[in-house]
Amino acid sequence: MLRWVRQQLGFDPPHQSDTRTIYIANRFPQHGHYVPQKFADNRIISSKYTVWNFVPKNLFEQFRRVANFYFLIIFLVQLMIDTPTSPITSGLPLFFVITVTAIKQGYEDWLRHKADNEVNGAPVYVVRSGGLVKTRSKNIRVGDIVRVAKDETFPVDLVLLSSDRVDGSCHVTTASLDGETNLKTHVAVPETAVLQSVANLDKLVAVIECQQPEADLYRFVGRITVSQQAEEIVRPLGPESLLLRGARLKNTKEIFGVAVYTGMETKMALNYKSKSQKRSAVEKSMNSFLIIYLIILLFEAILSTILKYAWQAEEKWDEPWYNEKTEHERNSSKILRFISDFLAFLVLYNFIIPISLYVTVEMQKFLGSFFIGWDLDLYHEETNQRAQVNTSDLNEELGQVEYVFTDKTGTLTENEMQFRECSINGIKYQEVNGKLTPEGFSEDSPDGNRHGLVKEEELFLKAVCLCHTVQINADQTDGADGPWHANGITSPLEYYASSPDEKALVEAASRVGVVFTGISGDSMEVKSLGKPERYKLLHVLEFDPNRRRMSVIVESPSGEKLLFTKGAESSILPRSKSGEIDKTRIHVDEFALKGLRTLCVAYRRFTPEEYQEIGKRLHEARTALQQREEKLADVFNFIERDLELLGATGVEDKLQEKVQETIEALRLAGIKVWVLTGDKHETAVSVSLSCGHFHRTMNILELVQHKSDSTCAEQLRQLAKRIKEDHVIQHGLVVDGTSLSLALREHEKLFMEVCKNCSAVLCCRMAPLQKAKVVRLLKTSPEKPITLAIGDGANDVSMIQEAHVGIGIMGKEGRQAVRNSDYAIARFKFLSKLLFVHGHFYYIRIATLVQYFFYKNVCFITPQFLYQFFCLFSQQTLYDSVYLTLYNICFTSLPVLIYSLFEQHVHPHVLQSKPVLYRDISKNAHLGFKPFLYWTILGFFHAFVFFYGSYLLMGEDTSLLGNGQMFGNWTFGTLVFTVMVITVTMKMALETHFWTWINHFVTWGSIVFYFIFSLFYGGIIWPFLHTQDMYFVFVQLLSSGSAWFAIILIVVACLFIDVVKKVLYRHLQPTSTEKAQLTEAGSGINCLDSMCCFSDGETACTSVRRMLERLMGRCSPTRVNRCGISLNSLCCRRFSYKLEPDEPAAIDV
């Protein structure tokens, strides 16, 4: 119990040792010196709160916000000293904001608790006391032997002990962890693989030593020591032995494994750790505005306090006959009185800080994010994938992007590989009708119609068929002996691979005669022209990004030990000592110029002595617990040398649809596009040209293949000089990974200067961390531009997390990019709508929302400040305390919220077809100092008009009632408040371009609600109120014709100036957006809907019902398709134009 409490409070110390020792089936040593290690239990906790800590923890988090903490202080001040307003005026809005946020966060956490309980309570089977025991998942302990059946998920991280197969192998899919749907093979060590029954496993005496838990899904270092007949056998354990929690068992009846990591120490749980919080530029501006308004508040409070004491310097005002001081007041300290008065004024003016701004912005972001998921233009029908929002905090940031960093493979391209060409022994080949044909030959030529394969070709294809991680669908392996053709064999097998390149190469080899037919035990089976051959798989040297190659060591049917290697030409060619190296290098460059992805293939023969030495070194490195990766890298480098080059392959990756148009649109919008790829220089340049990233007319500069700082710096200076000399021409820059490292080490400023003067930048041969470094370099530059990174693979995650906005492509390289992104889309082409339409709308909406909130609070509090000049700074309030409380909560909150959800100042089609409009909102144009100053000055101007307009029209000695009775101060304050509510609501109406029935309802409804509430509030004597100041005040006010005249006149006077300003600016200095609005109005477009316009004849209720159905999940594109309704019929944008005599009535886009 104590340990659980310490875990909850976060006081549990970290693991003391670098490794953990696990006794299988918890058979601990019997000697007295052994102290058992403490491990976490198997409960998964993804929730943030518990029943006990919810209130304190949630309140602590909420009061970390400046505005909330400020209002708490004000509320406490009102409780402690005599202030002009009731504590309710601050307490109720604060309570409302805190409660709404707490309910939202509490509900989200309750859902997490519910999901956790389902997972932790799932039934599992554990081997205990010689039999299988059914228990709950949360009860599994480290060291327990767990049984998992076919299609079940693993409840903990397990080391595989045995399976129903003789070789102890099993297949799993890790789709829920990294999105990769291919089957992965895991194997048990031979000593435990034979223990296939519960009885045998219960007798197992073994110890596992492994590293402490870490988040890396693909890294595991350990060893198992099995005691057999007084002998201890040590075997290495790696990632191939570890079955991860969350993965699913496939094509295997059952497996037994020992739990090594449990609960929050499993790799899946360690990957739950939240990403660093990204903050949008709007949020930063909002905080700056809050500070400015806090300064204004302090200034007003100090000024009022000073002026109060200036008035009281005269004796007649210090203690008038109607307000004599008490003895205590006369003897109190002047300093304390000054502080008390200052705090009282602070309370009086505190509503200039808009407390409800935070909760409104949160609601706007949360509700607004649904529109991205609902947008059928962002829905990909082929894959049944819709856009996904992982965080709603950055919606408006989509409208501020200045740099886009994109991956190439799978992002700009389809990641669907097709074999095109290869080079074997210095001769180029192409696949023609299932035959490998040398370049320049055809089937009609004398040498083109040949049978069989020459020795070099067959060896090359066997290398391709043996050196890979491809799997075969288990249901189809029995069909491998079907009908075979003498040549040009068509394989009935279905291949699965984590790498599309490998799959394309194995499929191409099978078409031309060498077929990989599967793995049986420790043997790889190949059919060469119909003749089966069995190669014993001895070792696999796994691929890693540093080596950029993978290898297998096999024993041929003749008993010869062979190493087959494939990888990037930069890692294979320097290690080759024989073969047609120069010719192959030329062919690789030719393939790359065509935009093909290239790999080189080589092999090596081992003598028995060499193989024995290699086996010994590999065993030592693989069983090492410390620095295993470094030792393995050294051994791999020792093995993969003195290679004989066989040839190279060229695989094509098709461009995605509309990539060129999207990149061109981004360029027109003023966004610079950088392509960051791991491909070789020539391939990357070729693809950049084909996708429009580089233009044919563009002057392409290169910073490649530099080995020293001096040459790199000299080249950078030359490039900077060329750019200055040819400043009229557009420039593109190509830089490779090694040159980039040199440039960033000592010449960062010069490199940035060159990059910023280039229209497009291409970085090739990039490692994942280098991608993130480049993004950080731009992000932290003096201009601090907003960056967006988009990619589809695990190698793009660091870049996606580093950028201000990260977008994952739902591609074929797993879902790690999607899981770590802020937004996810199915195709690169959807980026244009996401930025130009959604980003534009979100930014305009929230920019207006933030500034309008400050404006309406200036309008609210400034008359209170002006009123003090007329009441000798006695801290008399102008408004009733109920009005003070409800102004931001009820009377003015809904119109701006609805505006921030539905506003469309330009038609979506216009925004997407004119990317240049994106420039109008770039660099935070609508939330800069000038717009902020305009809204603030406008607020002060309107406040002066409210107050002095009411004062002049209804000032002293003015009799406005039929009986000659004059209005009092509460009537005057109510008049000012009434004018203010109408004006700020009408101001929001003036800002609205897109009117729906919801806008009409909340705009006019807010004004009507204010009148009805005031009549109700002032028409009844409320017994729980200690004063009845407002009784019959509102009714009396509205009974005066002069009051109605004053209200109308003041509202018109306030808004007239604003209307004139808008008209003059639109005609004298129109922005591109305003010109587009005029064009749109002239064309007669009358159907405006952000995501989906509905057919003619549909009522407003129908569209609302459809929206609610979407919200409830009843209307999904999948269901629509099943019903036989096309997407076009469901979501057609229907534009109506003013017709010419020969034009159709409507145009469907």
Are the C-beta atoms of residues 347 and 74 closer than 8 Å to each other?
yes
**Alpha-carbon gap, residue 336 to 305, rounded angstroms:** 12
List 764's β-bridge partners, or say none. 736
Say if strands 561-567 and 576-578 run parallel, antiparallel, or are unpaired: unpaired
Nearest partner of 541 among 553, 530, 533, 557, judged by Cα? 553
Start-to-end CA span in the chain (Å): 65
Nearest partner of 74 among 355, 305, 350, 340, judged by Cα? 350
Residue 749 DSSP one-character state: H
Q: At what angle do helices 88-120 and 356-368 cross, to 10 degrees?
A: 40
Across the beta sheet with 131-136, the strand order is 131-136, 123-128, 145-149, 254-261, 157-163, 242-243
Helix (H, G, I), strand (E, B) or coil at 1012: helix
Cβ-count burial of 225 within 10 angstroms (0-12 exposed, 13-18 middle, 19+ buried)? middle
C-alpha distances out from residue 684 to 187, 275, 650, 677, 830, Å: 38, 31, 14, 7, 22
Region for residue 875 given its phi and psi (left: phi exceeds 0; alpha: psi -120 to 50; beta: otherwise): left
Type of residue found at 996:
T
Q: At what angle do helices 66-80 and 88-120 cross, to 10 degrees?
A: 130
Helix (H, G, I), strand (E, B) or coil at 226: strand
Residue 153 DSSP one-character state: B
Please work out, in degrees rounded to the nearest 5, the angle formed at the alpha carbon of residue 437 by the alpha carbons of 434 and 442. Answer: 100
Query: Both tokens of residue 299?
Result: 């200034």
Say if strands 823-825 and 805-809 run parallel, antiparallel, or are unpaired: parallel
Are the C-beta atoms of residues 715 and 706 closer than 8 Å to each other?
yes
Are the C-beta atoms of residues 966 and 1036 closer than 8 Å to each other?
no
Annotated active-site positions, please?
407
Query: Both tokens of residue 737?
Result: 């990974």
Cβ-count burial of 862 within 10 angstroms (0-12 exposed, 13-18 middle, 19+ buried)? buried
List 533's β-bridge partners, or say none. 526
Q: Which alpha helices (H) appear in 691-839, and where do they start and end? A: 709-725, 737-746, 748-756, 768-779, 797-802, 816-819, 830-833
Query: Which H helix or E strand runs over 583?
Result: helix 581-593
**Alpha-carbon gap, residue 106 to 491, rounded angstroms:** 56
Q: Compute φ and ψ for 701, nearest 5 degrees.
A: -100, 150
Type of residue found at 103:
I
**Alpha-carbon gap, residue 47 to 172, rounded angstroms:** 28
